[in-house]
Amino acid sequence: MTPTTRLRATVALGLVALATPAAAEDACRALADLRINDVNLLSAVPVAVTDDLPAFCSVRGYVRPAINFEIRLPEDWNGGFYMAGCGGFCGQLLSDAPGFVNAMNHGLRRGYAAATMDGGHWGANSVDARWALHNRVAEVDWGERAVRVTAELAQQVIAEFYGDAPSPRIFAGCSTGGRQAQMLAQRSPGLFDGILNGAPAMDYTGLVGSWMASVVQANTDAEGGRIIGPGDVALIRDHVLAQCDAADGLEDGLISDPDACTVDWAPIACGEGTNEPCLSQAQVDTLVAWTETGAVTSDGESLYPATVPLGSEPFWGLWLTGFEGGGGGLVPVFNQGFLQFMAFRDDPGEAFSSMDFDVDIHPEQLAFMAAIYNADAPDLSGFAEAGGRMITWHGLADAIVPHGKTVAWMEGLRDTHGADLDAVNRLFLIPGMDHCGIQPGPGITSAGFDPLTALEAWLETGEAPGALMTTRRDAEGAVDWERPVCAWPAQAVHDGTGDWREADSFACVAD
């Protein structure tokens, strides 16, 4: 008897074997004896119920060479599998990430067997790229292999533990987790039934390479200093809101259609008769580059189909300008680390800076790594044939992964799939929401909507969601306003008379 078949005989009696808590704990500890190719199982330990989480069996280990994972198997199993992705460059096993963004406990609380991984390397934090220096194996693991092999392994362990294959199988990720979501749908289309694809960083070489380099260069003066800093953001934020709030048809403090507005910067540009504070010409130039021009070659050819969205200013401290007193400004950090250690076939290393990136030479040199990292092909045919369903969601005030690329990808998918796209993937663009709904601002955070319940219903009934409800709450938790977000390309349009704080005052209009 091999260890695996012995285990199957003792553990895989399914529900009978797990009938009592003591039996479940024995079955949990027995999982540590599983032998799976390329996998070192380090521990399998029962974890008691808490106020926050149900009782579960924690299985930890790594897939060679360095994909650290944890699988959490609840005693009271709902029959499903929920896997969470990771953000940025990953590099940490964040089993207890809060909320639902890249957080496996969001599924565990609903009774799913849950799993996550660290992307296949150790990093000091999720913006640390040093692990990738001359390390193609780790780059391939971060690019595609870590999520795939963890998903395969987790489904094998789940079947061993419960005696039954999981259904449904759901993957949920945001940012890099969204890139992982699209990678799974495109390269491993049979591994998941449903996918939640948040703010996908689907084109790392275009986004974190060319586009972020253009954002950094546009905001760097000849001495290497910032042109727009944290002290300038409030003036810009208030001016953009004043000019763009009503452009979507409703003055509600939200810029619901940032692409429908063009800002005239002249009223806040320094000049005769302008009040302080005001913007220098260099600052206006930076704003035009960020919000209108985007990443272009010296001939004006576009390198990436997105710009910094109007209405994202409340979130610029963390992503673009840094905060007063230090910290934040992660776009420059991401861009520099990516270019030094990840973006090129041969890493230039730490001597390379964002200012060294030549928009006429370097973008095409990123093609080799693009084949490893990117998942932006406008084709979900394999996923569609496997019966997969995807909900894609993206905040319209996302200043680090702007929504323009996601809309362009959807337009490409529409060309490929025609009207059949609606049965495979639906996109929800969420007004006023920051990247992955992380920071509170004018719109909702990730806590203000529930795409998992919508996906579960879609998988169960076959009926795709036409709208997702979003709820904004005040500091005390009372409902401030509620509004549907409609499946792209439809938009929630106000009826002209009703209270804009009430969901009933809106209807989805296709155009």
Binding site for Ca ion (CB under 5 A): 245, 248, 250, 252, 254
User: 230 near 317, Cβ under 8 Å?
Assistant: yes
Residue in 158, 161, 114 with CA at minimum distance from that of residue 17: 161
Give the separation between CA 312 and CA 433, rounded to whole angstroms. Answer: 8
248 vs 398, which CB is nearer to Ca ion? 248
75/248 with CB nearer Ca ion:
248
Q: Give which of 214, 204, 135 is closest to 367, Cα–Cα.
A: 204
**Could you tell me if residue 229 is left (phi over 0), alpha (psi between -120 and 50 degrees) or otherwise beta?**
beta
Rounded to a whole number of angstroms, the minimum distance from the CB of residue 490 to Ca ion is: 17
Report yes or no: 3 and 33 within 8 Å, Cβ to Cβ. yes
Nearer to Ca ion, 303 or 310 (CB): 310
SS3 429: strand
Least distance (Å) between residue 241 CB and Ca ion:
9
Q: Which is nearer to Ca ion, 311 or 317 (CB)?
A: 311
| Interhelix angle 3-11/146-162, nearest 10 degrees | 50
261 versus 407: smaller Cβ distance to Ca ion: 261
Q: Which of 152, 172, 168 is nearest to 77 (CA)?
A: 168
69 class by beta-carbon count within 10 Å (0-12 exposed, 13-18 middle, 19+ buried): buried
Q: Which residue bears the tokens 């796209």?
A: 421
Provide the minimum distance between the beta carbon of 491 and Ca ion in the complex, in angstroms, as a whole number: 12
Two structure tokens written together for 424 = 């495979």
Q: Pick the closest to residue 396 from 256, 291, 294 (CA basis).
A: 256
Nearer to Ca ion among residue 283 and residue 470 (C-beta): 470
What CA dihedral angle connects 23, 25, 30 and 31, to 10 degrees?
120
What is the rounded distance in angstroms from the CA atom of residue 139 to the CA atom of residue 343?
10
CA distance 457 to 466: 12
Do 311 and 236 form a contact (C-beta atoms < 8 A)?
A: no
The token duo for 27 is 């079955």
Q: Are 71 and 82 in contact (CB under 8 A)?
A: no
Q: How far is the CB of 128 from Ca ion (least distance, A)?
A: 38
Q: How far is the CB of 252 from Ca ion (least distance, A)?
A: 5
Residue 27 CA to residue 46 CA, distance in Å, equals: 9
How many helices and strands in the chain, by DSSP H and E?
A: 16, 13
* Segment holding 408, helix H or strand E: helix 404-417
- Say if CB 389 and CB 464 are below 8 A apart: yes
Cβ 251 to Ca ion shortest distance, Å? 6
Nearer to Ca ion, 141 or 245 (CB): 245
For Ca ion, the closer CB: 193 or 245: 245
Q: What is the DSSP letter of 469?
A: E
Cβ atoms of 169 and 181 closer than 8 Å: no
Of 75 and 245, nearer to Ca ion (C-beta) is 245
Between residues 318 and 444, which has the closer beta carbon with respect to Ca ion?
A: 444
Judged by beta carbon, residue 178 or residue 258, the one nearer Ca ion is 258
Kindly state the smallest distance separating residue 311's Cβ from Ca ion, in Å: 9
Q: Report how far residue 87's alpha carbon sits from residue 76's, in angstroms, rounded to the nearest whole number.
A: 29
In whole angstroms, the minimum distance from the beta carbon of 205 to Ca ion comes to: 34
CB-nearer residue toward Ca ion: 170 or 241: 241
User: How near is the Cβ of 249 to Ca ion at its closest, in Å?
Assistant: 7
Amino acid identity at 445: T
